[in-house]
Structure 1
């Protein structure tokens, strides 16, 4: 009660904070008369002048008013648009590393120019992160005109750029790109072997557009770079055929989590069918020998029962293409993980692409937290303010609109079933269409879009359908959704990024209608005609009530509903929004209080009848809050688990950077050799034990295998009576002498390169294996909960133990390869390129909503190829392969020495086999 009274007198904390920024806005406005009198050249000269101030010790906050005023004046000259005071406030919020929540149509893209310009003056680079390639290109091109006017360079990162183009784009003052491209470039950079091959600069400042979509909706699914494994397509087809014979009573499905499991009878039925198909070892499905079959069976069950065509994915050009559940867009090139995508391909009878193995991964949370300063902007962030602060330490600031919002938000209407609901929606659309009022309808799936389209066809209403099937036309359809009498059906409006202007969009009409008309009087005349038509249409649309927004059901996230609503009523325009719901909606059916809804609505409603109730609306909001809370917990869990890997990732990536930057790594190699000898001796000759208890033969074999030394250990024991410390010292002296002798025979510079190449390659090889092990551990660690143990604590302990074991393996393997290798350099080695990698965006717990977009760029050429059993991203070469596929062809390795690939075979029986 007291809080409400204080708020009514002094305003909320958000309102007080926004009001405090009025002083800074007044300082910015004070520069306007001066800058208006400047010539274009004088205004552009502000950039070098402000950079000199920074070089002289001035802080960004000190030059902010002058920098913002410079951008505002440049915008007036380049675009004919003057930043409103509330847009300047939004820019200040972005500069301070906070989230600016601004309504749709308030000009967020223009707002960002002030903060990007100010921060770019330091010369450390600014990243502007968008949700798709179209927006990255559009914003870079449009806002690039403004920044270019002021003398700043602008780059854009999109798929299929080569490494030179990427490096050039990152070197620009301001770089636009998608969250995926920035993240994948970071991972790819940390797989390269020379600093000069890396494309990104050190992180400085990022502004994330549609920040809720990128840092909340997509944050559950980490970015993953992977390489192919063995082909198992036949197994997927066989298991798919078996699953399709199961009946609903053979399994239990949970739509909420998209999990599915066989019943006891279902297990027995599946066992008999698998046995008949020859896929089962023994008669028990859950024997350890059948682990792989169980995995395939689970994924096939999910694919057949839980994943719906035209909702979760579509089949296009013989390929299964994932549909983004938040935006309704096709996610071309993206793939589900853990064999789920292959199972869906088998279900649909299309070509099955091979599975892939993780080579590098990172979550969006940990990627974006690497930026020293991070900010964002969106129309809807307040509902997730707590999560933004908990995970990213970013405050959400709600910026007031430039003019008051005039949109009317009507109460929800409830119907008994989907057909009644859609009939009512179609009727309302026809009524609005008859008076010329434009209508935008938001649906949750392609299937629902097409169902509504059928209803509108029956009503005789002309309309456009915007969903994943027509992705290329997306921006053009959305841009004209405010035209007189336009009816647009859209599958989720999250992050569409195109402004809906009443009367239509002049820019898009010019692009569509005058594409082939050359510059000249004819084109100018046509543009003037289009402008006049749009102005007249706007007058008529305003008279009809502005844009009418209809939601066909509530989304499980309130933000998505708010984004749809926010499409209407931009910049003080009139508008209307309304949601229609029914008992068959997913939110009500899965998360709502079923019995209360069902009893009340089934007993009180006749067919086709609707009710509106604040109690029902409140229940819906409660259900949405439950889902949001559950989703937050899932994302938080992803962060907790990735934080464990993140600590290890930092160690590995920092180690790689140190190796790449070092002139020589001989000191590292020597330390590794000494540590390996220490471990070998400690294992065979425990300290304090007697020589008769030592594993003499085992130690000799290990020393020969690892150090290429045949030590007279028995003679040392008999003649000298040495202890374990003496054994370690003698082996160390022998190994050091042998390596010194070997290196003295060749050019030291070449050996330095060889050592760096081997060291980086082994680091990458074992890191890749470690990631696969951690993936497997994460899948099973939850079972520890049955033993009253915290899975996350168990994961931390085991991951640390596995990491230490990985470091031991790296030390031993590097020592072994260098010890058994000898240089032979008849001619300069041809430097092979690694194959293109697959990149993905994958849920680590369920495999849902993940991806692999085939935009990998060719990576490092490296000395002597990949000194591993299998080059990154490929399967191992068969023994007896030619020198081109043998990475040790240029190294003089004894034919009886162990093969450097780690297979355990002698070199002559492995990669050194004669053809």
Structure 2
């Protein structure tokens, strides 16, 4: 029986079909302009940019000029690249212009699609940001597409790793700016730590197109961008606590793989308390006494490190460092560190050098950063499964754009085996069969460990010539991916998200030309060699197509359907044939966690023989339901993180707006300082002389002392109060008058320019200092507030109310500290030329969760003051003590924080030359 909804879809089409159909009239109009535009000269085509800008200045909207603007870009693309936008690419461009997500399959040319809305929106001269997942893609796309924009008279900038502030500012001032999500987010945070408005590099958030939008706005949104500074070294404590973990037994803790939690049982708590007491690390008798909050944190992290995190699955040990492995791509993420002491716990577990923790100086989630844009759009091959999240959090609708050619890929039902061993035997047989008939095969695994396990099995079974693409070998990534479509190629990959290179049947001609011809000079000889390679690729492509196209064989289901779809999407690009199939076992993580025990016993009863698989569409549906459950849970977790960050975001906006007002300075700053002074006086008088109190109840002695401390004024308030008939308002007026006179005298002594400089300096430095303290307080509140749920109180509401109180305290504190400093400051005139003091040393924390690109390494420091530019990477060489020259720091290499300082002082390095600024 067909549901009414299904019946309606058959007649009217789905809402997606109707949306796509709605663009057809504009596509026809663009096509109609093609003959006219093809007759224009290059100069006349370029001149259309100025015409469009003039029309916008005259009041026309971007929607009004969409058709002629898109037609202009298509014509320019034909001339610059020799590529003509397909009709479906025009539709994708319109979806992006309307501020939605265009879901387009792999190989459909998303990079070229983006040029249409980018050009149209850049005509307003407010800046368009195109966001990619790594520096390589940002550079590649900016260089390639920049040729098109330049042809049409637009400027293109690029924001990548290691640029100076001047270079960044110039790039943001361009019509079109390409950059990574990390770079853009960090620039925003750093801008809000500057001391001069002119030093800020970004010029606003107008329109952004996010490439691989699911990777950036979903996967990476799980962790915030953080700029942090160093804290005190606690490596000895981590090592001491780690030593207790091997002594625990299974009854001492409970592990929940679904929720990724590990907690102590009562027996375990008692055992840990005994060990901590014996080591002198426990204050009082109970682990959960208030004095032991820090120890509880360390112990819980150590338990997680030992029982939840597995070496070679969640992380690897390389060069005496713990390097995280991304669960989505299986790639190493050097520079990325787990927060809140978990990374230090893993370092202690693996007996590598424990690095010091950092304090948050500024942070923002990607959700809140990208929601600042007036218009936001995105493109990817896989967004439909996350449509609800995009709608709820970003107000983005997902529109599935049809493929240019029908998809020829055959997606087969999963094969489910009872054991992992049987599954791998079947996979090896299938790989051999594909290789024999020259079919290129891409084998997807979920971890490094599994990819190397499979590679070892293939070696034992005599299979040769396969390539392994995972975190250990990603240096050769582009080459391996580019040739994965050659006939008979066997490529084992640890997931395939965000690789940025298409797998073309027969191989990639450009990559082969670059490799084989190298630096051969241009000329007839090179032209002939290039043609020979292209002819060979064409021949190989025919062989691969005859064998059935690219075969994607997945060895496991991922928690997220989207990651499975990304892997599948590597096959069947641009109408090529292909097939995909998942091989599973009841011992796989997803199957095991979601209750395969009953299925196993049922299959045994049904008489399923060894090496036999169960294949049925029902199995696929059951697995999809399990994946949906995990996705829903992960979405709830991200939503929960965002709810808490939204509370902080409101406060962050207020602070950052105030900073900008302070940086812009001028006469208004004097008014701000005056208002603060008056509010401090109001608060002091109200505290010591309550409205309803009688004169004999006034605390005038306390008020006199408070005025001396807070306002640096020695006033005879006790004597004033003794005067007959004196009122509270009289005392208030006299204090205000004395404070005004002192401020006026200071201004006359030093002049308005010097005083304005001082006011700005004190306001900004005090606000920054208090904001950092506030962030630490919010971190502590966030970790503690969860326990309120046990008392039937909503943790989020508790967090909202208490964080609001903390913020009110911050503002009150700001008024008091600024007023106190301004009433005490003494200057010499030269101060106006002196630079503002340096900000603390800072580290960037966050790395691309889908690619593992090392965009901001922990060892890269952002140095403060007016210019938060990147300074040199810290030395990571290991140098023997006897080879170090005490007088030449460049010979020391990397020095351990607890080593004796090579300078010969006899102090530990951290207390000598390694002291943080």
Find the aligned partners of 2:557 and 2:602 in 1 and give their Cα distance: 19
Find the aligned partners of 1:593 and 1:767 in 2 and give their Cα distance: 48
Q: Which moved more, 1:543-552 or 1:216-225?
A: 216-225
- Indicate yes or no: 2:779 matched with 1:775: yes
Aligned to 2:117: 115
Aligned to 2:802: 798
Q: Which moved more, 1:374-383 or 1:305-314?
A: 305-314
Q: Confirm or deny: 8 A CA contact 1:337 1:850 kept in the other structure.
A: no
Q: What secondary structure is seen at the aligned counterpart in 1 of 2:703?
A: helix
Q: How far did residue 192 of structure 1 move? A: 0.9
Aligned mate of 1:445, from 444, 447, 456: 447
Q: Confirm or deny: 8 A CA contact 1:73 1:82 kept in the other structure.
A: yes
Find the aligned partners of 1:419 and 1:347 in 2 and give their Cα distance: 31
For each residue in 1:163-215, what CA deviation from the matched residue of structure 2 results, as whole angstroms up to 9, or x when unmatched? Answer: 11111111111111111111111111111111111011111100011111111
Find the aligned partners of 2:640 and 2:16 in 1 and give their Cα distance: 30
Q: How far did residue 377 of structure 1 move? A: 0.7
Find the aligned partners of 1:177 and 1:364 in 2 and give their Cα distance: 14
Aligned to 1:715: 719
Shift in alpha-carbon separation, 1:514–1:276, aligned structure 2, 3 A: farther
Q: Which moved more, 1:146-155 or 1:713-722?
A: 713-722
Aligned to 1:764: 768
Q: How far did residue 842 of structure 1 move? A: 9.8
- Indicate yes or no: 2:70 matched with 1:65: no
Q: Confirm or deny: 8 A CA contact 1:832 1:862 kept in the other structure.
A: no
Q: Confirm or deny: 8 A CA contact 1:221 1:842 kept in the other structure.
A: no
Aligned to 2:423: 421
Q: How far did residue 73 of structure 1 move? A: 1.4
Q: Confirm or deny: 8 A CA contact 1:160 1:856 kept in the other structure.
A: no
Q: What secondary structure is seen at the aligned counterpart in 2 of 1:588?
A: helix
Aligned mate of 1:824, from 812, 822, 828: 828
Q: What secondary structure is seen at the aligned counterpart in 2 of 1:820?
A: coil
Aligned to 2:686: 682
Q: Confirm or deny: 8 A CA contact 2:550 2:579 kept in the other structure.
A: yes
Q: Confirm or deny: 8 A CA contact 1:517 1:523 kept in the other structure.
A: yes
Find the aligned partners of 1:697 and 1:418 in 2 and give their Cα distance: 81
For each residue in 1:752-793, what CA deviation from the matched residue of structure 2 results, as whole angstroms up to 9, or x when unmatched? Answer: 011011101111111111111111111121222222222211
- Indicate yes or no: 2:247 matched with 1:242: no
Find the aligned partners of 1:587 and 1:338 in 2 and give their Cα distance: 28
Q: What secondary structure is seen at the aligned counterpart in 1 of 2:88?
A: helix
Aligned to 1:512: 515
Q: Confirm or deny: 8 A CA contact 2:165 2:867 kept in the other structure.
A: no
Aligned to 1:867: none
For each residue in 1:126-175, what CA deviation from the matched residue of structure 2 results, as whole angstroms up to 9, or x when unmatched? Answer: 11111122211111111112212222111111221111111111111111
Aligned to 1:494: 497
Q: Confirm or deny: 8 A CA contact 1:203 1:371 kept in the other structure.
A: yes
Q: Confirm or deny: 8 A CA contact 1:160 1:857 kept in the other structure.
A: no
- Indicate yes or no: 2:263 matched with 1:258: no
Structure-2-length-normalised TM-score? 0.91
Q: How far did residue 39 of structure 1 move? A: 2.3
- Indicate yes or no: 2:149 matched with 1:139: no
Q: What secondary structure is seen at the aligned counterpart in 1 of 2:750?
A: coil
Aligned to 1:887: none
In the TM superposition, 1:412-491 aligns within 5 A as 412-461=414-463, 462-491=465-494
Aligned to 1:85: 87
Find the aligned partners of 2:533 and 2:855 in 1 and give their Cα distance: 43
Aligned to 2:628: 625
Find the aligned partners of 2:625 and 2:730 in 1 and give their Cα distance: 72
Q: Confirm or deny: 8 A CA contact 1:838 1:856 kept in the other structure.
A: yes
Aligned to 1:607: 610
Find the aligned partners of 2:864 and 2:46 in 1 and give their Cα distance: 39
Q: What secondary structure is seen at the aligned counterpart in 2 of 1:403?
A: coil
Find the aligned partners of 2:51 and 2:855 in 1 and give their Cα distance: 47
Aligned to 2:880: none
Find the aligned partners of 2:528 and 2:658 in 1 and give their Cα distance: 64
Find the aligned partners of 2:158 and 2:858 in 1 and give their Cα distance: 18
Q: Which moved more, 1:459-468 or 1:669-678?
A: 459-468
Find the aligned partners of 1:293 and 1:260 in 2 and give their Cα distance: 16
Find the aligned partners of 2:116 and 2:551 in 1 and give their Cα distance: 33
Unaligned runs of 5+ in 1: 844-848, 864-915
Aligned to 2:573: 570
- Indicate yes or no: 2:527 matched with 1:524: yes
- Indicate yes or no: 2:742 matched with 1:738: yes
Aligned to 2:312: 310
Find the aligned partners of 1:757 and 1:395 in 2 and give their Cα distance: 45
Shift in alpha-carbon separation, 1:598–1:217, aligned structure 2, 3 A: same
Find the aligned partners of 2:838 and 2:781 in 1 and give their Cα distance: 32
In the TM superposition, 1:271-282 aligns within 5 A as 271-282=273-284
In the TM superposition, 1:840-859 aligns within 5 A as 840-841=845-846, 853=858, 857-859=862-864
Q: How far did residue 856 of structure 1 move? A: 5.3
Q: How far did residue 630 of structure 1 move? A: 0.7
Q: How far did residue 853 of structure 1 move? A: 4.7
Q: How far did residue 831 of structure 1 move? A: 4.8
Shift in alpha-carbon separation, 1:826–1:560, aligned structure 2, 3 A: closer
- Indicate yes or no: 2:130 matched with 1:124: no
Aligned to 1:268: 270
Q: Confirm or deny: 8 A CA contact 1:430 1:459 kept in the other structure.
A: no
Q: Confirm or deny: 8 A CA contact 1:342 1:353 kept in the other structure.
A: yes
Q: Which moved more, 1:37-46 or 1:256-265?
A: 37-46
For each residue in 1:293-324, what CA deviation from the matched residue of structure 2 results, as whole angstroms up to 9, or x when unmatched? Answer: 11111111111221112211122222212222
Find the aligned partners of 2:861 and 2:418 in 1 and give their Cα distance: 49
TM superposition outliers: structure 1 runs of 4+ over 6 Å: 849-852
Q: How far did residue 392 of structure 1 move? A: 1.1
Q: What secondary structure is seen at the aligned counterpart in 2 of 1:494?
A: coil
Find the aligned partners of 2:650 and 2:376 in 1 and give their Cα distance: 20
- Indicate yes or no: 2:644 matched with 1:635: no
Aligned mate of 1:102, from 101, 104, 117: 104
Find the aligned partners of 1:685 and 1:423 in 2 and give their Cα distance: 85
Find the aligned partners of 1:769 and 1:850 in 2 and give their Cα distance: 27
Find the aligned partners of 2:616 and 2:728 in 1 and give their Cα distance: 83
Q: How far did residue 473 of structure 1 move? A: 2.2
Aligned to 2:790: 786
Shift in alpha-carbon separation, 1:99–1:611, aligned structure 2, 3 A: same
Q: How far did residue 330 of structure 1 move? A: 2.0
Aligned to 1:895: none
Aligned to 1:905: none
Aligned to 2:813: 809
Aligned mate of 2:33, from 21, 31, 34: 31
Q: How far did residue 278 of structure 1 move? A: 2.2
